[in-house]
Structure 1
Amino acid sequence: MAKNSTSSTTVPDTAWLGRGRHLGPEPERDVRRNLIALKAAGVLDDFLDLDPVEAARSTVLHPRDEAADPGPTARRLFEARWRVADDITVRAQLTTYEPESRRKGDEGVGWILAAEAEHAWDVHWPSPATMFWPDSDQIPWDRDAVANLRLRTPNHLPKDDDELRHLLRECSRQSWFVHVVVHEAMTPDVRGQRPVSEWLPPSLRHRVVEHRGTPEQAQIADFAMKRELNVRMPRGGAVVLPTTPPGSWYDADRYTVRTVFLDGSEPAELLDRIREFAALPQPLPADAEQALTRLRRGWHLLTPQEELVHAQAMVAQYAEALDAMTTSRDLYKEAAEAAHAALAEASGGPGAAILPGPRPVKPEASPLSSLTKAFGRLRGPNK
């Protein structure tokens, strides 16, 4: 996958985006099993399992579109379609990637997930992550691509000041997820070790990375966060971290919670701040913009109605092209005849030199041949 950078646009309110790592031996097998099970249960309308090279070549909506190419390190591409709420259709693509390098920290198989609904996304809808990945702690798919942080369990902050600052810098600049730091006023018991994400709505649950600072890390965490991100870490409280550069709407005081009781009770104020932060316009990373473009322009899993509409659009498109070719031929013929007449009149008789007429159209360039080739592109594994 290409290195991440931030574009000037924001994430559309219809989209759900995620990027992470799977640390297990056979990630594609885990995806296939989950897709098969969910389709059998009626959760999914349908899904496809595609080789990325062939998928790019056989793109239905935009043939030979470079935007549909997931890149040379792509291993596999999966598409799934399901419905939520009042028959709102959601389309999603999951692409798995080879690690960028073999150095420590890059182990595992990378993945990018882009989902888009027909209407604005509702956080109470099912998480797209669990449509592809099993919602089980036994399957290690839930690692952020940044520093291998877990999505579904608290991650303890590094004790070294330099490591901590480096981590905060990476998370704010490169991660696609919402990052929350919680400071433990005292070491919590088992109930207090529950991740905050357990109380979040389904579609937000897999978009949050939770960091935990131990009681003795209050000062070091506060100093590092103040220096790197210009936010403070309240003792026994929490803060939702900004992105870098921070949006104009980000207010450090607004997204700082002074007290969080880690006793197993629901941290209502912190949850409200996370939901509020996630609902605001977020910068769209360049890699995420490319994934969203591939989803929109490189989609294969059409419904029968969509196939019909697409075929009708193709017929109309090539009919227009054929009409333009015919009109152009007629105009050329008229111009040639007018030139012959003018030359004959100017030379004083019919014995004038004859101008060449229009050249015959080669058989391979005929409108019928073009139309046949166009319909050939409609053939695919699901046609």
Structure 2
Amino acid sequence: MPTSPSVRPMTPATVWLARGRHAEGAAEDVLRRSLDERKRSRAIDDFLELPETETASETGAEAEAAPAERVFEARWRVDETVTVRARISVTPGPDGGQEWMLVAEAEQPWNDDWPSPAALFWPEGPEGPDIAWDRDGAAELSLRRINPLPHDDKETRRLFRNAVRGGWHIHVVVHEAMTTDERGRLPVARWLPPGLRHRVVEHRAAPQQHRGLNWALRDLGVQVPRGGAAVLPGRPAPDGYEAEDFSVRAVFLDGTEPTDLVGAVRRYAALPRPLPDGAEGALTALREDWHLLNLEEELERQRGLVAMYAEALEAMTKSRDLYREAAERAHEALVAYQESAEAAPERQRPSDTPLASPLQQLTRTFERFKGKSQRPVAPSRDEG
């Protein structure tokens, strides 16, 4: 069966992805301070801030510069020997905030028990202005706190439709069977492994919102049990997603770990999934435009360049030798032909026709063709 050109490539098992919005202040300043602190504490091996880039588009005689992109690279090791390379890009958003996209790749398949790349780039303080980085840019939702559903059912439906689009985050909906106290207001991310904590968006429905919640979820083919929870499919949904397998019948909001819900989130995260919108270009940039090289990698890169230049030189030398050999053979053939023509008996030549060499015949043919091409063209009746 032919593959549709609109089918997205799958997310490699070695890759970790996240996206969000920094709503306050200069994101690059926050990243610079955070990465410097991580380097001093040896949480990361090194980081690099790339020169600011911008693209220009011509409109008439004026050149208009597109918003500048700031890029940071960082590398660290997990399990002592596995290297992780990560790249975050920050661009101005439409409302004065800044959109960020983070892609990390390890030398082995990603383990969700490894540290979250987002927590290594961004500060993890519970309060203060730096908390502004953890927003889902598509729907202005928090990545680390509970997001209460809107009171209007139509607005809730619109929220879910926009939130799951693109496939960047794992969206979890929890329905409260009764009004909870402080123990029940702990987000599910608290119990998730580090590698999932900044990829999950938790929605919370009040007790009286159950009917409106399920009405809003009809388009996604999902229903949340009363007092239960569900993991929503993204768009596009991961391969192997079945709504029943990711529905939890009861979630006890008493401060204890919601084991069934945590298990459902981890199973969902393990499903093969297409690359989210815009992630393919970021992954390509990470792999093909990487700058933060250690000494060994720099030496390997130089060896590769030397080998590439050697192959190109060898190909050029081989082509030159082939052309030289062909020219020598042609010259030898022409000399042999001329010698054989001179040695032919005089009686075999017509007395009034001189012997024409192949070169002379080619020259005469070219002159006849040139004469035809230079004949003046008769003027048409419409002219003069």
Cα deviations across residues 104-138 of structure 1 (Å, max 9, x unaligned)?
A: xxx41000000000001111101000111111232
Q: Which residue identity lines up with residue 279 of structure 1 in the other structure?
A: A
Residue 9 of structure 1: how far off its partner (Å)? 2.4
Cα deviations across residues 305-344 of structure 1 (Å, max 9, x unaligned)?
A: 1111111111111111111111111111121122122222
- 1:230 partnered with 2:221: yes
Work out which of the two has the higher radius of gyration on C-alpha atoms and give 1 or 2: 2
Cα deviations across residues 253-288 of structure 1 (Å, max 9, x unaligned)?
A: 211111111111111111111111111112212411
Q: Which residue identity lines up with residue 104 of structure 2 in the other structure?
A: A
| SS of residue paired to 2:336 | helix
Residue in structure 2 matched with residue 209 of structure 1 by the alignment: 201
Equivalent residue runs for 1:253-264 within 5 Å: 253-264=244-255
Tell me the distance in 1 between the aligned counterparts of 2:71 and 2:117.
15
Tell me the distance in 2 between the aligned counterparts of 1:74 and 1:82.
27
State how many pairs are aligned.
328
Tell me the distance in 2 between the aligned counterparts of 1:109 and 1:132.
15
| SS of residue paired to 2:181 | coil
| SS of residue paired to 1:116 | strand
Residue in structure 2 matched with residue 150 of structure 1 by the alignment: 142
Q: Which residue identity lines up with residue 125 of structure 2 in the other structure?
A: S
Q: Which residue identity lines up with residue 37 of structure 1 in the other structure?
A: E
- 1:282 partnered with 2:273: yes
Equivalent residue runs for 1:312-331 within 5 Å: 312-331=303-322
Cα deviations across residues 224-272 of structure 1 (Å, max 9, x unaligned)?
A: 11x2211112111111001234345112121111111111111111111
Residue in structure 2 matched with residue 117 of structure 1 by the alignment: 106
Contact 1:143 1:151 in 2 (8 A): yes
Tell me the distance in 2 between the aligned counterparts of 1:308 and 1:54.
30
Residue in structure 1 matched with residue 58 of structure 2 by the alignment: none
Residue in structure 1 matched with residue 44 of structure 2 by the alignment: 44
Contact 1:168 1:228 in 2 (8 A): no
Tell me: higher relative CO, structure 1 or 2? Use CA pairs within 8 A at least 6 residues apart. Answer: 1
Contact 1:125 1:203 in 2 (8 A): yes
Tell me the distance in 2 between the aligned counterparts of 1:7 and 1:108.
32
Question: Are the structure 2 counterparts of residues 315 and 180 from structure 1 closer, same or farther at C-alpha, using a change threshold of 3 Å?
Answer: same
Tell me the distance in 1 between the aligned counterparts of 2:219 and 2:312.
58
Tell me the distance in 2 between the aligned counterparts of 1:177 and 1:159.
23
Equivalent residue runs for 1:1-383 within 5 Å: 7-53=7-53, 72-99=66-93, 101-102=94-95, 107-137=96-126, 138=128, 139=130, 140-225=132-217, 227-348=218-339
Unaligned runs of 5+ residues in structure 1 are 1-5, 56-70, 355-383
Tell me the distance in 2 between the aligned counterparts of 1:73 and 1:234.
45
Contact 2:85 2:106 in 1 (8 A): yes
Contact 1:7 1:285 in 2 (8 A): no
Contact 2:176 2:228 in 1 (8 A): yes
Contact 1:238 1:256 in 2 (8 A): yes
Tell me the distance in 2 between the aligned counterparts of 1:242 and 1:25.
33
Contact 1:19 1:113 in 2 (8 A): yes
Q: Which residue identity lines up with residue 49 of structure 1 in the other structure?
A: E
| SS of residue paired to 2:9 | strand
Structure 1, 71-80 or 114-123: larger mean CA deviation:
71-80
Tell me the distance in 1 between the aligned counterparts of 2:21 and 2:163.
15
| SS of residue paired to 2:179 | coil
Identity over aligned pairs, percent: 51
Q: CA RMSD in A?
A: 2.3
Tell me the distance in 1 between the aligned counterparts of 2:302 and 2:239.
46
